[in-house]
Amino acid sequence: MGEYNNKALSAAVLRLLRPLVRLLLRHGVSYGVFSDLVKWVYIDVADKEFNVPGRKQTVSRVSVLTGLSRKEVSRVQKMVAPDDVSAVRKYNRAARVLSGWLRDMNYQGKDDQPLRLSFDGDEPSFSHLVRKYSGDMPVRAVLDELVRVKTVEQHDDGMLQLVARAYIPSGSEAEKLHILGTDVADLVATIDHNLYHAEDDALFQRKVSYDNLPAEVLPALRKLSREKAQLLLEEMNDVLAEQDRDVNPDVQGIGRKRAGLAIYYFEDDVSEEN
């Protein structure tokens, strides 16, 4: 990598780290803890993604790749990496149930709006919906979660009504931090892909922004962004769901791929650093 690219990458990393470090300090994560996490990722990526084909990866090679001593590599490899498997599972399953309620014709009324559902009984019911789209997740646990985040309302007659068209964890900071890990990782992975692939093989990555806007226009922009983005995401959800073998077992093909589209809105004050 040339000197110019090194400087550009260093500047990019500093920009990337600033909001991350702000979040870490807000949660009382010290540099020492962060340093160990970074070391763990460096070693794990070097071990799994930069091995020589046909040869077993060694501590010595990982040490050379990362610049860490062999002793430090061995120490960090013994660390138990924190994970959020339960949060990932709950997020994915709840989102899938919501998607089924929005797009499955068995759960749509004559006006193409999601039906009100009984908790149990003949299809369409919430229990059938959960079993169809969430596998072995307990039905009551899924309902409690969707009610907690104000996506579903339960009326006095026991009927369930969908009142939001997106699953957004609320109340639990751990669940929101899970989104930080998955969504930011996907964005960085997309940028990494585009850096090293030709334009005709690049993944879609676009942004529109202006830096001389009055504060008074921001509320309307937020509202318009939510509405337009939600419509696009729901359209893409229908397309992706039709090709997903969990939702549509008749889909044929090889391999198991993950694909999606992410949209986010941003705003901040303009400073000399921007």
Are 125 and 131 contacting, i.e. CB atoms less than 8 angstroms apart? Answer: no
Highest mean pLDDT among 32-41, 67-76, 215-224: 215-224
pLDDT > 70 fraction of the chain, expressed in percent and rounded: 90
Give yes or no: residues 26 and 71 share one domain.
yes
How many CB atoms lie under 10 A from the CB of residue 87?
19
Give yes or no: residues 54 and 112 share one domain.
no
Q: In this predicted model, what pLDDT tens digit does every residue of 226-251 receive, in sequence order?
A: 999 988 988 898 888 889 887 788 89
Please give the helix or strand (H or E) that residue 153 lies within, else none.
Answer: strand 152-154
Q: In this predicted model, what pLDDT tens digit does every residue of 121-153 receive, in sequence order?
A: 888 899 989 888 876 778 888 888 888 878 899
Question: Is there a domain that residue 221 lies in?
Answer: no
**Domain total in the chain:** 2
**Confidence label for 169 from pLDDT (cuts 50, 70 and 90):** low
Give yes or no: residues 103 and 152 share one domain.
yes
Are 75 and 104 contacting, i.e. CB atoms less than 8 angstroms apart? Answer: no
Which residue matches tokens 């160990």? 36
What are the structure tokens assigned to 235, written together? 């359209």
**What mean pLDDT value characterizes the chain?**
85
Question: Is there a domain that residue 184 lies in?
Answer: no
More confident residue, 149 or 89: 149
Q: Helix (H, G, I), strand (E, B), or coil: what is residue 222?
A: helix
H helices present in the chain, as ranges: 3-26, 31-49, 59-66, 70-77, 85-103, 126-134, 139-148, 173-195, 218-243
Give yes or no: residues 57 and 98 share one domain.
no
CATH label of the domain that carries residue 121: 1.10.10
pLDDT, residue 60, reads: 93
Give yes or no: residues 37 and 97 share one domain.
no
Domain-terminating residue out of 116, 138, 162: 162
pTM, two decimal places? 0.63
The residue segments making up the domain with residue 55 are 1-81
Question: Is there a domain that residue 200 lies in?
Answer: no
Of 37, 34, 39, 63, the C-alpha closest to 50 is: 63
More confident residue, 274 or 187: 187
Give yes or no: residues 103 and 149 share one domain.
yes
Domain-terminating residue out of 40, 63, 81: 81
Question: Is there a domain that residue 90 lies in?
Answer: yes
More confident residue, 6 or 62: 62
Least confident of 64-68, 174-178, 208-212, 223-227: 174-178
More confident residue, 27 or 167: 27
Query: Which residues, in sequence order, are bridge partners of residue 114?
Result: 108
Give yes or no: residues 4 and 59 share one domain.
yes
Question: CA 42, 257, 251 angle in degrees (round to 5)?
Answer: 170
pLDDT, residue 204, reads: 93
Give yes or no: residues 77 and 1 share one domain.
yes
Phi/psi of residue 254, each to 5°? -110, 165
Question: Is there a domain that residue 157 lies in?
Answer: yes
Half-sphere exposure (Cβ direction) of 71: Cα atoms closer than 13 Å: 0
DSSP assignment, residue 152?
Answer: E
Domain-terminating residue out of 81, 103, 137: 81
Q: In terms of residues, how long is the chain?
A: 274
Question: Is there a domain that residue 197 lies in?
Answer: no
Angle (deg, nearest 10), helices 59-66 and 31-49: 120
pLDDT, residue 242, reads: 86
The arithmetic mean of pLDDT across residues 267-274, rounded, is 75
Cα distance between residue 106 and residue 122, in whole Å: 12
Question: Is there a domain that residue 118 lies in?
Answer: yes
Are 105 and 174 contacting, i.e. CB atoms less than 8 angstroms apart? Answer: no
Question: Is there a domain that residue 50 lies in?
Answer: yes
